[in-house]
Structure 1
Amino acid sequence: MDNRQTAPDEILNRHGIRPTSVRILIYKTMNRFHDTFSMADLEEVLDSVDKSTLFRTLALFAEHHLVHLLEDGSGSTKYCICRNDHICGIEELHCHFYCEACHKTFCLDHTHIPAVRYPAGFEVRQIDYLLKGLCASCRAKRHE
């Protein structure tokens, strides 16, 4: 289910999150990002919301599977909105691409994470599959 057509308060309620005005504002702002975003990206847009509120809200959203966390090696945790209505099977998770020149991390929505075998008794909670290199724009700039 694509959450972009559903009211933010409905989405938060469905994820078990009480929809306060600040949480709704943060959720709406997150939806404006096409790919991944960092807390610093949110801070830049939401200068009226303090850093600790943003941090706590992102942690709450991650705990309730409204956002996915991604470590791309940049030293800054990136987030992307879960578009699967918080019911993400491994087969629904997608890959990401980190550009080593512009330092942006792109969602590769249609490139799914390959199946990985792991030992019986283990419980997988997160899989990150990250490709690194140059995005099309940075690659084009290097070949000019």
Structure 2
Amino acid sequence: MLQNIENTLHQKSIKPTAMRLLVLDFLSKQRAAVSLNDLEAAFHRADRITLYRTLKTFEEKGLVHSIADGTGSVKYALCADDCQAEDHQDLHVHFHCSNCAETYCLPAARIPDISLPADFAADEVSLIVKGVCARCKPENAMQLQTKGQ
């Protein structure tokens, strides 16, 4: 597994430092996007600046994309394999659960092309859907509680 993580960093032209390997391993195990605070909690002995720089390097190299989900805290998630430093392919919908506060990438739900007037130029496009995720829906929560008993 560590070899795969190291290979991923090499493919993106990122020097595989110990912290970068740990952060990428952590990100690859997440089901939802994570914030810098989430990383700090996971790596409580790591320096906040080092974690931030690691995320920014990953973003610059097309390994992660950032998500402004309206919570005031930027979240980060792994990019699709075809993302490049100069051409992120993360034009998909993101879902923010108002119950558990998790933010999910929904890569199958693509953001449609937006037709802008001739003298407008888009720098970025995002679409955040807010609601209740599958784990938090009342009927799913009851099933999870029943299984836990």
Establish whether TM, by shorter chain, passes 0.5.
Answer: yes
The runs of at least 4 aligned residues of structure 1 exceeding 4 Å deviation read 119-125
Q: Is contact 1:15-1:86 (8 Å) kept?
A: no
2:145 — aligned with what?
none
2-structure distance, mates of 1:47, 1:15: 27
Aligned-residue Cα RMSD (Å) equals 2.6
1:16 — aligned with what?
13
1:29 — aligned with what?
26
TM-score (norm 1): 0.81
Structure 1 residues 125, 27: closer, same or farther in 2, change over 3 A?
farther
> Which residue identity is paired with 1:118?
L
Q: Is contact 1:9-1:24 (8 Å) kept?
A: yes
Q: Is contact 1:30-1:42 (8 Å) kept?
A: no
Q: Which consecutive residues of structure 2, in runs of 5 or more, have no partner in the other structure? A: 143-149
2-structure distance, mates of 1:136, 1:43: 27
1:129 — aligned with what?
127
Q: Is contact 2:68-2:75 (8 Å) kept?
A: yes
Aligned length, in residue pairs: 139
Q: Which consecutive residues of structure 1, in runs of 5 or more, have no partner in the other structure? A: none
Percentage of pairs with the same residue: 35
Bigger relative contact order, structure 1 or 2, given CA contacts below 8 A and separation 6+?
1
1:94 — aligned with what?
92
Q: Is contact 1:65-1:82 (8 Å) kept?
A: yes
